[in-house]
Structure 1
């Protein structure tokens, strides 16, 4: 898709604030600091519409980005950040769960993992939940520019095995710095918007 018009339409701290426009939604999930905001910025050709931070646990709301009046990119709070209180983590967990379970407009979930590390138990849990609930998960292996080209296949194989991904094509290595992988991700998104 040619992206010219995007705006952060809704920043919601509870479910009553979710938008009611009926547009399909693509959610971006992953642990804190994995690069969700950087991926969203790259996909919409913006430098900083989605707020990025070197400080994990910064996104505490569910943010809805209206892309060309065709769909929403939904930036979910990152999970698993230790410095946030247990109570706060539980609150986020319930909030995210409520969104994932009840949101009819949610058509696709993109799980982000850091290509340099084996997926953790929260990643595995979310992946299994997505499969169980009938989503076809797309896994984006971020921070591609941080490893050598010769290591890519090995790291992708570890992610495939750890998560139990059946089709290796459902794992796309991506770099926010070089934008490698961006076109492949858009191919998947375009097929959602226009399934013909």
Structure 2
């Protein structure tokens, strides 16, 4: 059984100052409002409605905290880049995102979710640069991979991996589909490493 199926919702916070103590290790999920972030979290945790999916992108306006077990957390960051949200709110979200990425000490890695058909838009790149500046590992996840045929999917993946080199940091790129679970094993492998599960498994051997 996956560790991630134990995840439970703990709290929502408008900014970093309202989050619980900054200890242990956490992995944050960020992405444009229509990148399928909530669906990916639900697929990862094997729970249908842990993260709320919405027909209206841009509903996640708070930092949502899910605890896997004591000292290990998944963080759902506010979606960004949705056109119908007032500018004032966009700027507020961006400030909260920036503060979180630059100041949160327990952050062990960042998952940036992007629609496989439109990867590395401006705000995605800005997020990745912030993470690289802090020496944080990044998993660039190309979501909705089921929407493309196998050949096109591979081509997009190769193109994205080449583009990721420009960040000059620890940026891994994988394809993912929350619909059929494609790429879920790769996501778990990366998260296990960041959250220290891999080390524990090695200690047991």
TM-score between both structures, scaled by the size of structure 2:
0.88
Does the Cα contact within 8 Å between 2:65 and 2:75 map onto a contact in 1? yes
Question: CA, structure 1 residues 70+179, in 2 after alignment: closer, same or farther (shift >3 Å)?
Answer: farther
Using the TM superposition, give the Cα deviation of residue 167 of structure 1 relative to its aligned residue in structure 2, in angstroms.
9.3
In 2: Cα distance, 1:118 partner to 1:169 partner: 14
**What is the root-mean-square deviation in Å for CA atoms of aligned residues?**
2.0
In structure 1, the residue matched to 2:143 is 142
Using the TM superposition, give the Cα deviation of residue 161 of structure 1 relative to its aligned residue in structure 2, in angstroms.
3.5
Summarize the alignment of residues 47-196 of structure 1 with structure 2, pairs less than 5 Å apart.
47-163=48-164, 164=166, 170-192=172-194, 193-194=196-197, 196=199
How many residues end up aligned between the 2 structures?
196
In 2: Cα distance, 1:169 partner to 1:136 partner: 6
Question: CA, structure 1 residues 166+154, in 2 after alignment: closer, same or farther (shift >3 Å)?
Answer: farther
Using the TM superposition, give the Cα deviation of residue 91 of structure 1 relative to its aligned residue in structure 2, in angstroms.
0.8
SS in 1 for 2:156: helix
Most deviating of 58-67 and 15-24:
15-24
Summarize the alignment of residues 25-44 of structure 1 with structure 2, pairs less than 5 Å apart.
25-44=26-45
Using the TM superposition, give the Cα deviation of residue 15 of structure 1 relative to its aligned residue in structure 2, in angstroms.
2.6
Does the Cα contact within 8 Å between 1:65 and 1:73 map onto a contact in 2? yes
In 2: Cα distance, 1:63 partner to 1:134 partner: 23
TM-score between both structures, scaled by the size of structure 1:
0.92
In structure 1, the residue matched to 2:8 is 7
In 2: Cα distance, 1:167 partner to 1:21 partner: 24
- Deviations along 1:143-186, one digit per CA (max 9) or x if unpaired, are 01111011112111232334436799911100001011111111
Runs of 4+ in 1 over 4 A off after TM superposition: 165-169
SS in 2 for 1:60: coil
Does the Cα contact within 8 Å between 2:7 and 2:69 map onto a contact in 1? yes
In 1: Cα distance, 2:146 partner to 2:25 partner: 31
Most deviating of 116-125 and 173-182:
116-125
- Compare the two structures and name the one with the higher helix fraction: 2
Does the Cα contact within 8 Å between 1:11 and 1:61 map onto a contact in 2? yes
5+ long unaligned stretches in structure 2: 200-205
